[in-house]
Chain A
Amino acid sequence: DAEITQSPRHKITETGRQVTLACHQTWNHNNMFWYRQDLGHGLRLIHYSYGVQDTNKGEVSDGYSVSRSNTEDLPLTLESAASSQTSVYFCASSATFSGELFFGEGSRLTVL
């Protein structure tokens, strides 16, 4: 079955370290999205992509970067992790005209 997977599911890191969260989908979806979830804020969009080589900033993109070198993957990189980036991160994907997003199971990141 097609799916979307995130790794790692849990990670603890230290302030200032570089961290990469992986997202891989097997649906061949053009659209991919990264959100972070924090209490009182819901899910907020970090970055998104509508296809290979396309990336766009969301509402909370500072301190994060993404690259889209193929259809299946959209890794999220924290260049220098900060305690404010402690959160649960969700990756999602969608087909171009489906009107529906499919979510991964989330990655919990703790920055000490």
Chain B
Amino acid sequence: AQTVTQSQPEMSVQEAETVTLSCTYDTSENNYYLFWYKQPPSRQMILVIRQEAYKQQNATENRFSVNFQKAAKSFSLKISDSQLGDTAMYFCAFMFRLYGGATNKLIFGTGTLLAVQP
């Protein structure tokens, strides 16, 4: 069974600084996606970034980037130039792709609560 581990329950960063959130996962599969979701106080689940396992290049979305280490089964999220609006719970998630690459269920980590301090 696949598992996702986020070992940092809470983190804090100063505005404009850089912070890295850790995530490790365990799987024997080879065809999968990894995700970071953001959940602000509004409770809405917002997709931050997605990485396909077969791609060696790390995904980047503006100030958000990942460090994907497939052999180590590690998938960390780096937030550059942190902003007050980045304050949220961040969830790492894994998706094993079904036959033909079909979308499957997400398996979530327990989350990291990030506070950006002014």
Per-residue CB contact flags for chain A residues 31-65 toward chain B (1 = under 8 Å, else 0) read 10101000011111100100000000010000000
Q: Which of B50, B52, B101, B110 contacts A42 (CB 8 A)?
A: B110
| CB proximity of A68 to chain B, nearest CB, Å | 15
How many residue pairs link A and B with beta carbons under 8 A? The number is 53
Complex-state Cα separation, A101 to B97, whole angstroms:
13
Which residue of A is nearest B92, CB measured? A42
Q: Which residues of A contact B6 (CB under 8 A)?
A: 42
Extra contacts, 9 of them, besides A97-B101, A106-B43 (Cβ < 8 A), are A33-B106, A42-B91, A58-B105, A95-B103, A99-B101, A100-B47, A100-B50, A100-B103, A101-B103
Interface of B with A (CB < 8 Å)?
4, 6, 33, 43-45, 47, 50, 52, 91, 95, 97, 100-103, 105-111
